[in-house]
Amino acid sequence: MAIHPIEFRYGNPEMKELWTENYRFCCLFRVEAALARAEEEVGMIPKGAAGDIENAAEKANPDRAKVIEDEIGHDMMAVVLALAESCEWAGEWVHLGATSNDILDTATGLQIKTSLNVLEEKLKRVLEVLLDRAAEHKNLVCAGRTHGQIAVPTTYGLRFAIWASEVARHLERLAQLRPRAAVGKMSGAVGTQAAFGSAGMTLQSKVMENLDLNEVDVSNQVVQRDRHAEMICWMGLVVTTLDKICVEIRSLQRSEIGEVQEVFGKRQVGSSTMPHKRNPIKSEQVCGLARVVRAQIEPALANMVLWDERDLTNSSCERIVFPEAFIMTDHLLGLTARILEGLTIRPDRVEQNLNLLRGLNMAEAVMVELAKRGAGRQQAHEILRRCSTTALEEDRELAKVLADEEVVAQHLSPEEIRELLDPHRYIGTAVEQVERLDDILRPLLD
């Protein structure tokens, strides 16, 4: 019976497969085979033993390893014995000189490497959608909001572009952390490589070369967990950006704002009792599950603190932290891309909200122009503050209040005031910024 929602509700098959028990066993067997190949090359095991072990690794049975573990109570030794049983004659040479975490941590490095590659492609997909939507809506002027209140205008293109820039920084961070996080090692029981003799450093390099994996510069019995903590923190950053995007979508979909709409299927049900409802449930799912990924940061940081050359406190929680973080992050990236692709923007409501304050959101434009024409910045600010207050209290258009203001009338004609209060004329370099960002970031998709 399925228990965890990852088993039946969340996650994509490609990423889930990378964290299944069977795939984990395949990685462990693969590392043992790579170790045997390197040991044969440096003369530690007989000629031909590596080939026999490699053949055994391809057919070794994970179920047999689990049976052995039930008998002996040691997961890694069970893998060793199951692999040795599958050999024709070289079983005695399996795992020579290695400690459990030489194999376990290196196998984790393989899983991390492949999983980060998957996340990179999903991130690029989100970036592409954001750039496309930014270009599509670069000229769509809308109400900007600060503190939840309508401010001067912005554009939907600039909103999408800002999110795209943030996603691109996550790609940059990924390129930086990947060689630190996707690593393996062959360091022995406490890090001295004593069991491998003078060939230890050469052997480690050969194993990682065989696996196409980066090697640590130095370690004790385990790969140091700051590498993994950085990776989990990065995933926390990624999902928090998705959370941020979806919070904005949820806010803009409020009935009283109504500028955007999540895609809603023809037979989709919004509520069991209110038939009219169209809830932003996909965005809400992103915001909710982002909390689960961020929750993995604390144990990942705590795993850095191990006794002496190592203890076992990191092992149990990593069996949960790594799969949950990767599977949920992958799920949220895919879901967010679909939300953004299907997002409907309603220009009529955008325009309605843009003019909701009847010119008040354009007070800055008038203030700046008055200052330029000699009224002075401080005096202009006070005039617009006072006129805005009057317009609000008397429920009047700002243009009409300004027309009655003597200092304003000295510097601006009624036609000039109307032009200054046109929000479509006050978006600065928003369009140019979107176009420049597209030129900068589009090559990242190649």
Domain match, 91 and 123 both = no
**270 inside domain:** no
- Cα–chain-centroid distance for residue 204? 32
**183 inside domain:** yes
CATH of residue 342's domain is 1.20.200.10
- For residue 260, list its beta bridge partners: 345
Domain match, 50 and 180 both = no
Residue 147, C-beta contacts closer than 8 angstroms, at least 6 positions apart = none
Domain match, 91 and 34 both = yes
Domain match, 121 and 224 both = yes
pLDDT of res. 446 = 87
Domain match, 314 and 180 both = yes
**Degrees (nearest 5) of the Cα angle 141, 144, 145?**
160
Could you give phi then psi for residue 236, rounded to 5 degrees?
A: -60, -40
- Cα–chain-centroid distance for residue 409? 53
- C-alpha to C-alpha distance for 372 and 386, rounded to whole angstroms: 19
Nearest to 286 by CA among 126, 103, 174, 56: 126
Domain match, 202 and 287 both = yes
**271 inside domain:** no
Catalytic residue among 147, 198, 272, 276: 147
What Cα–Cα distance (Å) separates residue 262 from each residue in 78, 273, 352? 50, 20, 20
**167 inside domain:** yes
- C-alpha to C-alpha distance for 264 and 256, rounded to whole angstroms: 19
Q: Is 381 a catalytic residue?
A: no
- C-alpha to C-alpha distance for 443 and 446, rounded to whole angstroms: 6
Longest dimension (CA), the chain: 102
- C-alpha to C-alpha distance for 106 and 205, rounded to whole angstroms: 12
**5 inside domain:** no
Nearest to 56 by CA among 92, 78, 29, 23: 29
Domain that holds residue 79: 11-96
Domain match, 69 and 106 both = no
Catalytic residue among 4, 74, 205, 271: 271
* Contact present, 154 and 142 (Cβ < 8 Å): yes
* Contact present, 155 and 161 (Cβ < 8 Å): no
Q: Is 315 a catalytic residue?
A: no
* β-bridge pairing 344-345 and 214-215: unpaired
Domain match, 181 and 63 both = no
- C-alpha to C-alpha distance for 179 and 214, rounded to whole angstroms: 6
- C-alpha to C-alpha distance for 19 and 15, rounded to whole angstroms: 7
Task: State the virtual CA torsion across 142, 146, 152, 155 in degrees, nearest 10.
Answer: -30
pLDDT of res. 203 = 97
Domain match, 381 and 300 both = no
CATH of residue 402's domain is 1.10.40.30
Handedness of CA 72, 78, 81, 82 (dihedral sign): positive
Domain match, 365 and 259 both = no
Domain match, 173 and 31 both = no
- C-alpha to C-alpha distance for 161 and 196, rounded to whole angstroms: 53
Domain match, 71 and 107 both = no
**2 inside domain:** no
pLDDT tens for the 446 residues of the chain, in order: 889 999 999 999 999 999 999 999 999 999 999 999 999 999 999 999 999 999 999 999 999 999 999 999 999 999 999 999 999 999 999 999 999 999 999 999 999 999 999 999 999 999 999 999 999 999 999 999 999 999 999 999 999 999 999 999 999 999 999 999 999 999 999 999 999 999 999 999 999 999 999 999 999 999 999 999 999 999 999 999 999 999 999 999 999 999 999 987 778 877 777 888 788 999 999 999 999 999 999 999 999 999 999 999 999 999 999 999 999 999 999 999 999 999 999 999 999 999 999 999 999 999 999 999 988 899 999 999 999 999 999 999 999 999 999 899 999 999 999 999 999 999 999 999 999 999 999 999 98
Residue 190 one-letter amino acid: V
- C-alpha to C-alpha distance for 365 and 380, rounded to whole angstroms: 11
pTM: 0.95
> Total structural domains in the chain?
3
**1 inside domain:** no
